[in-house]
Structure 1
Amino acid sequence: MQSNAPTVQATETSFRIIEALMEREGAGLTELAYHLELPKSTVYNHLKTLERNEYVVKRDDTYDIGLRFLHLGEYARNRRLLSRVGPPEIDTLAEQTDEMVNLLVEEHGRGVFIYREKGSDAVHMDTHAGKRVYLHTMAFGKAVMAYMPEERVDAIIDQHGLPKATQHTITDREELFAELEVIREQEHAFDREERLKGLHCVAAPIITDDTIVGGVSVSGPKSRMRGEWFTEELPRLIKSTANVIEINLTYGRDDITNVLL
């Protein structure tokens, strides 16, 4: 949920520069200043500060993201118990389905991939650990929103909107809430080309002590994700995997301290 508290403009600018470097896969000073509509001197000062602190690297005249972010990302992921107990079950599900299997969490109203495993027939997709996606466009997102309080879902929609990713994306609030009600009844969610054209997905939430911890999803081409395999068998396998992870999370807390669920 967005806060009305004031933000520090200099910090906002640094983050804008970091995001722009990632989106553009590296850029020069002039290109960045033009893209961000900022004075070159301002961008230069921020880049030099980031470079001095090892968050940005410079090769010739091009700046890019430094590997120090990898260290921070691994730390953030490993702080979650889910990232420690979930992967073995994700690997098993990938072997069972031969498709792409994902372990995700919700953070700041978006879905975040924290682990993925390719089955033998998995297709290449645009996702990777750390990628953030609008919840309403994906099976995982709808699966977790179905178990959130209605006011929390409203807050997420108010913050991020319901942007259209494909012609199949749900962009109407009432339609989304109607689908969330169905998802609560069946305990799993479908994505039929709602985020990526040609891609279908099934997901189930991971819930412990009435807390939504994350979710499991299986993605694949719609040519294979159809019929009873898509509507019945996959949901059964995914929910079974989610249940095993829930049990492991419950008992894993006794062995590992100082981590988040």
Structure 2
Amino acid sequence: MNRRDAGPRTPVKTAERTLELVEFLKEADGATLTEATEAVDLPKSSVHNYLQTLAHHGYVVEDDGAYEVGLRFLDLGAYARTRVPLYPVAEPELEAVAEETGELANLLVEQDGRGTFIYRMKGENAVKIDSYNGQQILLHTTAIGKSILASLPEERVESILDRHGLPAKTENTITDREELHETLDEIRAEGFSYDHEERISGLNCVATPLFHDGEVVGAISVTGPTSRMSLERIDGEIKQQLQNAKNIIELNLSYS
């Protein structure tokens, strides 16, 4: 198994509790001390000390008795994004795709077996969905994630599926490993992947992977409502625009 998919041999409990608290505050969209205490199963005094320490360093903020994730994490996330060579190369091309299609254009990279959106650009008609730069997703639930899975070595794919499983996000999510492998074979053959309401009901998506030096480094996609993302439109203008962007991004990666 890739070490990125394996847990630490000697986990530090304090660090794990801290991260567990931060993750809970994110998922709960903020919480009181009592709610946080119930979530992590620690004495209230200990949870209070954790939260106050995080607040002192700007990673948590307290507002009227509720604790929320602080903007200090934005500083770390923005810095981490600058360390991804793909980002500055792909950004202008995704802006062009969003402008040309009027839809939501996305850039995803894989790390630790999950996908992270490092850039999302809304076109004029893009739908408003619960998504943001830095958001993490399970790769099997989206076209953009499946395009990366299809481009990874088989052993890496298996380690990701062993770790994260195939939980459903909607009734259309692929939850059977054999079916997923058949889909990945189709993606490899065509070079494009599709998502028909598999992560968010009412949305369709088409994606293609990005390569550098023979290895997948990310993927780009266009997402829109099913009413506008017909098969005819996807097979026509949208796939062509993605292919154009892919060619430019991969060339610039090679010669930048």
TM band (smaller chain): over 0.9
1:196 corresponds in structure 2 to 200
Per the normalisation by structure 2, the TM-score is: 0.95
CA RMSD of aligned residues (A): 1.2
Distance 1:207 1:130 in 2: 21
Tell me if the contact between 2:108 and 2:145 (Cα under 8 Å) persists in the aligned partners.
no
Give 1:95-174 correspondences, 5 Å limit. 95-174=99-178
Distance 2:81 2:239 in 1: 26
1:3 deviates by 3.1
Distance 1:6 1:158 in 2: 21
1:38 deviates by 2.0
SS in 1 for 2:181: helix
1:36 corresponds in structure 2 to 40
Give 1:200-219 correspondences, 5 Å limit. 200-219=204-223
SS in 2 for 1:74: helix
Per the alignment, do residues 4 and 13 of structure 1 end up closer, same or farther by CA in structure 2, a change over 3 Å counting? Answer: closer
2:67 corresponds in structure 1 to 63
Distance 2:143 2:236 in 1: 15
Aligned AA (1:49): T
2:238 corresponds in structure 1 to 234
2:29 to 16, 25, 28: 25
Aligned AA (2:129): M
1:259 corresponds in structure 2 to none
1:5 deviates by 1.4
Give 1:169-184 correspondences, 5 Å limit. 169-184=173-188
1:233 deviates by 3.1
SS in 1 for 2:129: coil
Q: Does 1:52 align with 2:56?
A: yes
Tell me if the contact between 2:17 and 2:40 (Cα under 8 Å) persists in the aligned partners.
no
Post-superposition Cα deviations, 1:192-221, rounded to whole Å, max 9, x if no partner, equal 011111110000011010121111100001
Distance 2:54 2:247 in 1: 43
SS in 2 for 1:197: coil
Distance 1:233 1:42 in 2: 56
1:22 deviates by 1.4
Q: Does 1:14 align with 2:26?
A: no
Q: Does 1:250 align with 2:254?
A: yes
1:4 deviates by 5.5
Distance 1:173 1:203 in 2: 21
Runs of at least 5 residues in structure 2 that lack an aligned partner in the other structure:
none
Post-superposition Cα deviations, 1:205-244, rounded to whole Å, max 9, x if no partner, equal 1101012111110000111111321234322221221121
1:35 deviates by 2.4
Tell me if the contact between 2:102 and 2:124 (Cα under 8 Å) persists in the aligned partners.
yes
Which is worse superposed, 40-49 or 174-183? 40-49
1:37 deviates by 2.3
Distance 2:235 2:28 in 1: 39
SS in 2 for 1:206: strand
Q: Percent identity?
A: 47
Aligned AA (1:190): Y
SS in 1 for 2:31: coil
2:191 corresponds in structure 1 to 187
